[in-house]
Copies of this chain bind each other. A is one copy, B any other.
Amino acid sequence: MGRKVIDNPNLCSLVHAMNIIGGKWKPIIMYLLANGSLRFGKLLMFTPTISKKVLTEQLKELEEDGLIIRQKFPEIPPRVEYSLSEKGKALLPVLKALSDWTMETYGNEIGFEQCRIVTL
Contact = CB atoms under 8 A, between A and B. Distances in A.
Contact of A91 (B5, B18, B94, B101): B101
B120 A14 contact: no
**How many chain copies does the complex carry?**
2
A24 B18 contact: yes
A76 interface: no
A114 B12 contact: yes
A115 B28 contact: no
Nearest to A87: B105
Interface in A33-53: none
B101 A97 contact: no
A120 B15 contact: no
Contacts of A117: 5-8, 11
Contacts of A16: 102, 106, 109-111
